[in-house]
Amino acid sequence: MNKNHYCIIMAGGVGSRFWPLSRNAKPKQFLDILGTGKTFLQQTFDRFAKIIPAENIMIVTSAIYKDLVLEQLPQIDPSQILLEPFRRNTAPCVAYANYKILQRNADAVVVVAPSDHLIMNEVEFHQIILKGLQFAESNSAITTIGIKPNRPETGYGYIQINSSVSAPVVGIRRVKTFTEKPNLEMAKIFLQSGEFHWNSGIFIWSLKTIMDNFAEFLPEVDKLFGDGVGLYNTDREEAFIRQVYSECKSISVDYGILEKASNVFVILADFGWSDLGTWGSLYLNSNLDKDGNTIGGANVMPYGLKNCVVRVPDNKLVVLQGLEDYIVVESDDILLVCKKSDEQEIKTFVSDILIEKGEQYT
């Protein structure tokens, strides 16, 4: 393995669209929602540890999840966990990791990835990531992974390739535009055009390239974290980071840098990817019974159940009759029954519950 290769795993999200299984106290990246025996975080770490030195993999997460990370990844050193005192989106997360890595290796080449994605073809995934790392080593480029779409999905962002510019490397194209989640009509146009790919949220760059881009496009964020040189990996780091995050704006690296930079490329890939952001995406990636259901729970008795997602505790007898295209999830003291077509409303449910019932249910 190349000692200059690093990985930043972003694991601080709440995953509210997977409520009520995913809750503030234990979000979806710390859960085994797929029933594989490993949580999303564990699967992500293991996936990258096959191609990147384990000691070079960093986990950026909320300070309240430190013990969960150590419990699920006992093989890592606590210094590999970067604790955010507040949620500030992905740009501060990356900036923090940049300066931590800089202190160890100024020649680092880095892949940044969310902690909760499904990858079906790991062999192809590894080849794509290594290709991106090799490209970043020899080019001052910000590289994303674009997934070949197979349906007009409205839940993902899209990357448009620049077909008028010749490819620097086979399978790597220059990015023309980024588009946030489109409506269904626009998603159909994107799919038919052949120029648009899903934005996987996985980035690859050299440390020098991304830090140069922070200095140019997000100088105020870069300065906040740069003022901590000499404090990182000391007993003063925690207090410094708390102060920085209290002052730092919340902004994504996509909006803050990628949409403004001119040196952005995309590697076109197809390795069985899903961000598994919703119950619906879980349904699309599950083994279904003869009636189109995915059922988790040892004592579920279905009668006329069709095209449903069911997740209930093994020790609970659940009888379901006549439901079609529904989500039924029970977790601890919460029962959710929701139409699959209305699953985007789950975030609204959680917000309303927080206001009316309090934090104990979120």
What would the pLDDT profile of 55-99 be if each residue is shown by its tens digit? 999 999 999 999 999 999 999 999 999 999 999 999 999 999 999
Please determine, for residue 302, whether its predicted confidence score (pLDDT) is greater than 90: yes
Query: Quick one: pLDDT band at residue 127, thresholds 50, 70, 90?
Result: very high
Domain endpoint, select from 210, 245, 274: 274
Q: Is 279 helix (H, G, I), strand (E, B) or coil?
A: helix
173 and 316, same domain (yes or no): no
Please determine, for residue 150, whether its predicted confidence score (pLDDT) is greater than 90: no
More confident residue, 156 or 219: 219
Number of separate domains in the chain: 2
Check: CB of residue 204 under 8 Å from CB of residue 51.
no
Tell me what pLDDT residue 55 has: 97
Q: How far apart are the first and last CA of the chain?
A: 42
And the tokens for 198? 């899903």
Q: How many C-beta atoms surround the C-beta of residue 229 within 10 A?
A: 10
Tell me what pLDDT residue 16 has: 84
**pLDDT tens, residue by residue, 161-190:** 887 666 677 789 999 989 888 888 999 999
Whose CA is closest to 5, among 124, 119, 136, 121? 136
And the tokens for 139? 């080019």
170 and 305, same domain (yes or no): no
Give the mean model confidence (pLDDT) for residues 257-278. 90
Query: Quick one: pLDDT band at residue 153, thresholds 50, 70, 90?
Result: confident
Domain endpoint, select from 211, 240, 274: 274
Tell me what pLDDT residue 166 has: 67
CATH number of the domain encompassing residue 238: 3.90.550.10
Phi, psi (deg, nearest 5) at residue 130: -65, -35
Domain endpoint, select from 255, 274, 293: 274
262 and 326, same domain (yes or no): no
Tell me what pLDDT residue 101 has: 97
Please determine, for residue 141, whether its predicted confidence score (pLDDT) is greater than 70: yes
- Percentage of the residues of the chain whose pLDDT score is greater than 70: 99
252 and 115, same domain (yes or no): yes
84 and 201, same domain (yes or no): yes
Torsion of the alpha carbons at 164, 166, 168 and 171, rounded to the nearest 10: 80
91 and 235, same domain (yes or no): yes
Q: Is 161 helix (H, G, I), strand (E, B) or coil?
A: strand
Please determine, for residue 309, whether its predicted confidence score (pLDDT) is greater than 90: yes
Tell me what pLDDT residue 194 has: 86
Tell me what pLDDT residue 165 has: 67
Residues of the domain holding 262: 5-274
